[in-house]
Amino acid sequence: MTTEVPSTLWRDDRTHRRRRATRISLTLTALVLLVAAGSLAIGAYTLPLPDVITTLAGQGEARDNFIVFGLRLPRLLLGALVGAAFAISGALFQTLLKNPLASPDIIGISGGASAAAAYSILFLGLSGAAVPLAAFLGALAAATAIYLLAWRGGVTGYRFVLIGVGVAFMMQAVLGYLITRGDVRDVQQALVWMVGGIGGASWVDIVVLALTLAVLLPAVGLFVPRIRMLQLGDDTAGGLGVRVESTRLTLLVIAVALAAVTTAFAGPVAFVAFVSAPIARRLIGTGSLALVPSALVGILLVTAADFVAQHLLPGTLQVPVGIITGVVGAPYLLWLLATANRRGRGA
Amino acid sequence: MTDAAVTRKPRHTLRAEKLGLGYDGRSIISDLDLTVAEGQVTVIVGANASGKSTLLRGISRLLKPASGRVTLDGRDIHTQAAKDVARTVGILPQSPTAPEGITVADLVGRGRYPHQGWFRQWTSTDDAQVTEALRATDTAQLASRRIEELSGGQRQRVWIAMVLAQDPDILLLDEPTTYLDVTHQIEVLDLLTDLNRSRGTTVVMVLHDLNMAARYADHIVVMAAGQIIASGPPVEVISAELVQSAFALESRVIVDPVCGAPMVVPVGRFHGGTV
């Protein structure tokens, strides 16, 4: 009755899955390095690659030092941190709420951060480190509002997303109002919180964001086994010994913090949180959580989009990175909406 | 079909004491007492909305009691660590979901979660249990296939393999045969009986089909309106009067020609009924 199958078959499958994930991560890393090399070398003054390397190693001339450490490296590093943080935040939201639309940029959490940042600049006259703090509080307020409005003895992804989309529209309206009422000189500064940009990257921003990630990402790492169980549905995860609601709430707080802090420094770089994890998971295609590949896709997306925004547009046109990621992300959103109902998921 | 690698574990007692359950303050079950028969196959039956799935969720720790308690070996399951309970009690919910693209081996491997520590060391025991779970459910040859490529019957066997990898002494299943054709229903129920007999696993399942319940149960629990109205061996419990009070259905009870269990033949209005 029971056919004898070598018991190694499932181990082969595991090995195969691991190799595939490693291969894709290495490929993505190579692409990230390629974009990084290009971003550091190319610009108004193009540095040959060997010079970039000597400069990075601390042996560069003063002029090269200024170009690399003063201009290009901060922008590249901020882009990478922003990409990774948004990607992980989106991956967490989408997995925990089991809905591909549940990403902080779609459900108004980035919107909350933007509105609060704009308010603090235009009406409270804040600047510097106070603005990111306001953005963080705004995101937290938006997330709390969504969570409370969606709560019915538990949170389902569908209701969370519907309410979140409503909140996103409200935040857009608030932001629009603030911008039209604000002082023209300040509006210029506030605009970055509408589309997202990493042009004004400073080393302080980078250090603060890097420290935040250094705390939050290992925390996410500790939760990975539990998230993998939650992928199997709440009941199965509960049956396997996961405390479903408290685990989800903790992780949502981490995801909100990631999105909020990142938005605080770079604005809501459109669609990065939304598309990174789905792209990574599609590349790997084994139902794995794929957090590392998602982060790599996010990094690649932001750094490459910023490269395009700076160098590859016709003439001398330079736009914030969020415009380019928006151009990439919007068709995916349309595709998702067009195919979701066909698959009968109603999401 | 016994296997030397499978050792019978010490038995555990799962018991509901004056249990009250409900959703959003709406009471579904109140003041219910149940002791799960150790080492036996218990089948819970009842009409729609009689509270049978709710009861299963209650005794499996998925639903917190509104009153009373559920104990495992005398200790309240909600005061024990979730993982500790999960090492003894496994549950297969009614329609479990899996992420797109997940392979059989990956899914079954995840059943080892309650046995792993914070840093997720994969031990040789984990390895042996997954191999054994795949073997027992005859799914080893499907290991590298994706869940969505499988037939309904195969998929259900894979999910059962996942809970088996969890290595529970008490296995709870919520309508494990729903959406399966009759061949696959028998296949799944035979598999569960196999596990009960070869491993001594206590099986508790909710079933819709009264005749399948009567055939496969050592012990049947009949529910109506959130109460247990009868329980015991099917031969002693099932009668036309009971079917009338549990399902509000007229029926005749005959003897199942295959196994001698009681068999319920419903009587409707047409085809020999009152019309």
pTM, 2 dp: 0.89
Residue in A11, A233, A281 closest to B97 by CB? A233
Give the pLDDT score at B2. Answer: 43
Taking CB atoms and an 8 Å limit, are A238 and B102 in contact across chains? no
Taking CB atoms and an 8 Å limit, are B61 and A239 in contact across chains? yes
Taking CB atoms and an 8 Å limit, are B163 and A287 in contact across chains? no
Element (H, E) at B253: strand B251-255
Q: How far is CA B211 from CA B49, B157, B181, in A?
A: 19, 22, 15
A258-273 tens-digit pLDDT: 998 898 888 888 899 9
CA dihedral B151, B152, B156, B157 (to 10 degrees): -40
Mean pLDDT, residues A273-302: 92
According to DSSP, residue B9 is labeled P
Confidence tier at A10 by pLDDT (50, 70, 90)? confident
What count of CB pairs under 8 Å joins A to B?
A: 136
Give the pLDDT score at B119. Answer: 66
Residues 221-240 of A with CB under 8 A from B: 222, 224-225, 228-229, 231-233, 235-236, 238-240
Taking CB atoms and an 8 Å limit, are B91 and A225 in contact across chains? no
Least reliable range by pLDDT among A324-333, B3-12, B198-207: B3-12
Confidence tier at A340 by pLDDT (50, 70, 90)? low
CA dihedral B63, B69, B70, B74 (to 10 degrees): 150
| Alpha-carbon radius of gyration of chain A | 21
Mean pLDDT, residues A45-69: 89
ipTM: 0.89
Q: Which of B72, B103, B112, B142 to mutate: most A Cβ within 10 Å?
A: B103
Q: How far is CA B64 from CA A156, A243, B23, B69, in A?
A: 18, 12, 10, 9
A84-140 tens-digit pLDDT: 999 999 999 999 988 888 899 899 998 998 899 888 888 888 777 787 788 889 998
* Chain B residues with beta carbon closer than 8 angstroms to that of A230: none
d(CA A34, CA A17): 26
- Position B275, amino acid: V
Taking CB atoms and an 8 Å limit, are A239 and B141 in contact across chains? no
Taking CB atoms and an 8 Å limit, are A243 and B86 in contact across chains? no
Q: Which of B144, B147, B159 to mutate: most A Cβ within 10 Å?
A: B144
According to DSSP, residue A70 is labeled I
Q: Hey, how many other C-beta atoms are within 10 angstroms of the C-beta on A179?
A: 16
According to DSSP, residue A71 is labeled I
